[in-house]
Amino acid sequence: MQDYDAAEIVCMDCGFVVALNLANRGPEWRAFDHKEYEKKARVGSPQTFTIHDKGLSTMIDWRNRDVYGKKLSSSQKAQIYRLRKWQRRVRISDAYERNLALALSKITKIANSLSLPRNILETASLIYRKAVKKRLIRGRSVQEIGAASVYIACRQCGLARTLDEISLASSISKKKVGRSYRYLLKELNYFVPPMKPRQYVSKFSNQLTMQGNVEKVASKILVAASELKMTCGRGPKGIAAAASYIAAALTGEQMTQREIAEIAQVTEVTIRNRYKEMIKRLLFIMSL
DNA sequence: AAGACGAAAGTGGTTGA
DNA sequence: TCAACAACTTTCGTCTT
């Protein structure tokens, strides 16, 4: 996955940055509202769901000149003026378009502040479009639905982002994001599998700047743990944190429980409980 | 002195009557 | 609508390195 805004190639499994400094082949601008969009749009830009008309519309130049650069006669000028007016009306005429333009810019903002890869942004935009089409936004906050779309997009792509992070980036309370999230899932008939601990592990090890094999060991522990049916009914974060802790210890990279608890957003107690269970079971298996 | 440990009470969200 | 409930957190005193 390529993230042009951050000029990175990002692994969609774990969010790991594979390469930096790509050439940006997309448009060099971003549009936050329709006016700005009109100023910056040009032919040949790639299609994207993040702009309300998918970046596909034509636009009439504002200078009153013809293709040869000659000034237009006054009757031509008047005609062009009328054409422009109509085009404006056609493009952002109804509430639908206006809503979309606003919401997509909000979604872009959230995604950027979380430095999410481009395809998450596209997915979130697509989800939002569906929501609008089904008239699910009526009487609801655009921001809330936007934030929820981003969250769903993350979950669908298996990127470990918590409600907290989304709520922080969008400055909308966790409760509201969660509510809208469930609402969208229900109304759009989406199914989102619960987070796998595995996905958290990669996130943690990135944030902890641990070496690659710590992550590998942690994954192995998780596989073993889930085979032992130890993962059901438990919060995936706690399990992932515990696995990371054990893996770090095994590879001689000793992390304190607090350090892991900090970035995993669980308490040391939870890590302790999980990892004690795991150690017990794993040792038992190994002694067979 | 810092980290790890564990008991006990508290919290917020889900479930089932 | 409400109480029971499971998972997790908070708090705090004690043990270990």
pLDDT tens digits along A208-244: 877 778 888 998 888 888 888 777 778 889 999 999 9
Enter the CATH code of domain A1-43: 2.20.25
Same fold: A95-188 with A197-281: yes
How confident is the model over A71-109, as pLDDT tens digits? 666 777 777 777 767 766 665 556 677 778 888 999 999
Enter the CATH code of domain A95-188: 1.10.472.10
Within window 196-255 on A, which residues have Cβ closer than 7 Å to strand C?
A: 233-235, 237-238
Is the backbone of residue A57 left (phi > 0), alpha (psi -120 to 50) or beta?
A: beta
Our measurement of CA A239 to C1' B6, in angstroms, reads: 19
Topology classification of domain A197-281 = Cyclin A; domain 1 (1.10.472)
Q: Decide: A287 and A259 in contact? Cβ < 8 Å.
A: no
CA distances from A74 to A38, A61, A71, A77, A82 (A): 24, 16, 9, 5, 12
Q: Does residue A154 or residue A34 have the better pLDDT?
A: A154
Contacts of A258 (CB under 8 A, 6+ apart): A268
Q: In the structure, what pLDDT confidence band is assigned to residue A33 with cuts at 50, 70 and 90?
A: very low
Number of alpha carbons in the 13 Å side-chain half-sphere of residue A197? 26
- Where in chain A are the domains? 1-43, 95-188, 197-281
Any atom of strand B under 7 A from CB of A257?
A: yes
Q: Where are the beta strands (DSSP E) in chain A?
A: 2-3, 8-10, 17-20
